[in-house]
Chain A
Amino acid sequence: MSNPYQPIPAIILKTMDETPNIRTFVLKPEQEIPFLAGQFVELTVPGFGEAPFTPSSSHFRRETFEMTIMKVGRATGALFSLQPGDVVGARGPFGTPYPLQRFEGKDIYIVGGGVGLAPLRALFLALTHEPDKYGRIFLRYGARTPQDIVYRSLIPEWQKIPKVDLDLSVDVSDEKWMKRVGVVTCLMDDIPCDEKKSIAVVCGPPIMMKFVNQRLVDAGFQAENIYLSMETNMSCGVGQCRHCRLGPYLTCKDGPVLTWAQIKDIENPFV
């Protein structure tokens, strides 16, 4: 019997600052963690605690993986003080991956906000790795300011990928910003795919998820085709400790990605 609470060592190979408070960590675990896009890993900062994060790199390359993390609390605060060469703990993968088979042959409409682009990047890379399997890929991303955009150096490359249609907005612009200004829903006035058949995938802060989801429902997306990353307190990661319960679901086991069809009857799911 294995011990689900025991982390394995993972060495920090590299860190990349995305924004003033968001950093990407490249990690090499002692043994490969066989994650699929949408699953998460519990990351331990020795002595400071543990928190769940979804890998943001492709699941087709797993000897190392990346996590893009915002500094918000005790564990992430301590994580930001670590350097390449330092060792953290990792256990996983946990949760249910995106059901990519269901996505085959369909257009995928992805909406991200802030650091919420991190788990969506793993999905985006999985989709673009096998482009023949899927329809067109639309990526709509909003950040607070141009300085808060994550993966700034990668986005121009993504725009060149065939079948990818990418657009950005910021809430507050600067003099160099040439794209849309406004919350991410301002990019959703015109949805260039068949809403009734396409898949929508959303990740971002709860208030953004609430309004994006409403916009998708109004546009005609089917509730079972809207995939939402739900943020709850996932502690054990293995469906035992019960901290992450969201209505009838344990987010760590049934999620963290749940469809709108699954959660629409839960009172106020976006907190």
Chain B
Amino acid sequence: MHQWLSKLLARYTVYVPTERDGQTHWHLLDPRDLEETPDRVAPAQRRIRASEPVKSFMFQPRQRVAGFPEPLPLPESAPRLLLGVKNCDLAALRVHDKILGEGEFKDPFYVSLRESTKLVVADCPAPEQSCFCNLLGLTPFAKEGGDAALSVIDGDWIFEVGQTGQELVDTAPELFTRLAGETTETKKRDEERSAAVAALNMTNARPWNPDLPGAIAAKLADDSFWRKHAKTCVECYGCLMGCPTCYCFLLYDQAKEKGLDRTRVWDACYEAAYARVGGGANPRAEFIRRFANRFDCKWNQFKRDHGVYSCTGCGRCFKACMGKIDIRTVLGEL
């Protein structure tokens, strides 16, 4: 394994999930890690998604996007590899692809980082109580997308590689053995996958209203419903910053001599001034309207516009919430 990682490091900037203080975090792999902390890399592959959403790598929290009067050159990104993305984060990137990577206006900074990044999607054999990807129709392993799928079984790394992932194997083909048909390893992998699905179905047994968009639209003006669920919210925006699908941003201009630097920064729709116009009018001046708006945006409008929910069940919003607001409870009552 480490021989392969060494080869990959010659070609890519490599990020792997590692465990720190009981949480999983993305870690920039350094050649020295392979010598000094070799045991860190493999076990973390079996943990749930990292605390940091994968969007951070493509849709960066702060990205300089324009200069004036001299225009900013279009970006060029070096090859990167994220080794151990979870399926919930992969699904979340599809939300970003729709908004920033498709259509008439594309975000060239997002597209450049996205296209230069290889994604290896690792199975999620031990979903936690905060996970609910099953309610969004997702599985705790990759069914499609990504460049390769990874399962770590008894210390062996099993890869399924498509066309775009072949170059990862080609960095050191001598280290790989081709598995033909069903083997003890693939059998165990499939059992683990089934067990993970079963665990999720047990944790989140009751499906949401099949017409969630319609149910939200019908409840939108019912302040008492939203107040009941928002009462412990302290407006920290942790749920939005941690969300792997949220993509709201602000173009923030800073003066420089005779010009400006424009930075695209993450924004949060809970922010009081979020929808306020220049003249001061604000369609969502009250927090309760902004709270309801978040649900309307992610589980109603986005689904209507793009056919998918802007949520992948990663559970970061619940984990980040000081008020312990669980959106499963809110959406479950609709």
Instruction: Tell yes or no: B248 within 8 A of A by CB.
Output: yes
Find B251's partner among A235, A245, A267 (CB 8 Å cutoff). Answer: A235
A206: Cβ under 8 A from any B Cβ: yes
How far apart sit A227 and B27, CA to CA, in the bound complex (Å)? Answer: 53
Interface size on A, residues (CB 8 A): 43
Contact A7 B279 (CB under 8 A): no
- Residues of chain B whose beta carbon lies under 8 Å from any beta carbon of chain A: 65-69, 71-72, 74, 99-100, 103-108, 111, 220-221, 247-251, 253-256, 258-260, 262, 264, 267, 269, 274-283, 297, 301, 304-305
Residues of A within 8 A of B74 (CB): 1, 3
The distance in angstroms between the C-alpha atoms of A8 and B91, with both chains bound, is: 36
> Bound complex: CA of A4 vs CA of B274, how far in Å?
21
Output the nearest chain A residue to B221 by Cβ-Cβ distance.
A267
Contact A245–B105 (Cβ < 8 Å): no
Contact of A73 among B108, B250, B253, B279 (CB under 8 A): B279
Q: Which residues of A contact B106 (CB under 8 A)?
A: 1, 4
> Of all chain B residues, which has the CB nearest A3?
B108
Beta-carbon contact of B248 and A242 below 8 Å: yes
Q: Say how far B147's CB is from chain A's closest CB, in angstroms.
A: 22
A86 to chain B, nearest CB (A): 11
Residues in A whose Cβ lies below 8 Å from that of B100: 240
A126 to chain B, nearest CB (A): 23
Among the listed B259, B280, B304, which residue makes an inter-chain contact with A47, where contact means beta carbons less than 8 Å apart? B259
Q: Counting CB contacts under 8 A, is A9 at the interface? A: yes
Contact A49 B297 (CB under 8 A): no
Interface flag for A48 (CB, 8 Å): yes
Residues of chain A touching chain B, judged by Cβ–Cβ distance below 8 Å, are 1-9, 44, 46-51, 70, 72-73, 75-76, 87, 89, 206, 231-233, 235-236, 238-248, 267-268, 271
A47 touching B69 in the complex, CB below 8 Å, given contacts A240-B107, A241-B267, A245-B297: no
List 5 A-B residue pairs with CB atoms under 8 Å apart, sorted by A's residue number: A1-B111, A47-B260, A89-B260, A231-B279, A233-B275
Report the nearest A residue to B64, measured CB to CB. Answer: A5
CB B298 to nearest CB in A, in angstroms, measures 11
Check if B259 sits within 8 Å of A46, measured CB to CB.
yes
- Which 4 A-B pairs give the minimum distances between C-beta atoms? A47-B255, A238-B105, A271-B283, A73-B278
Expressed in whole angstroms, the Cα–Cα distance for A112 and B297 within the complex equals 32
**Chain A nearest Cβ from B65, distance in angstroms:** 4
Q: Is the CB of A243 within 8 A of B248?
A: yes
Is B249 a contact of A241 with CB atoms below 8 Å?
A: yes
Nearest CB in chain A: distance from B279 CB, A = 5
The interface residues of chain B lying within 8 Å CB-to-CB of A239 are 99, 103, 105
Contact A232 B275 (CB under 8 A): yes
How far in angstroms is the closest Cβ of chain A from B273?
Answer: 9
**Cα–Cα, bound, A51→B67 (Å):** 16
- A242-B269, A243-B274, A248-B305 are known contacts. Are A87 and B253 too (CB-CB below 8 A)? no
CB closest residue in chain B, given A7:
B68
- What residues of chain B lie closer than 8 Å to A51, measured between beta carbons? 278
| Bound CA–CA A49/B253 (angstroms) | 6
A47→B252 CA distance, assembly (Å): 10
Given A3-B65, A75-B278, A233-B275: A50 touches B247 (CB 8 Å cut-off): no
- Of A49, A206, A245, chain B has the most CB atoms within 10 Å of the CB of A245
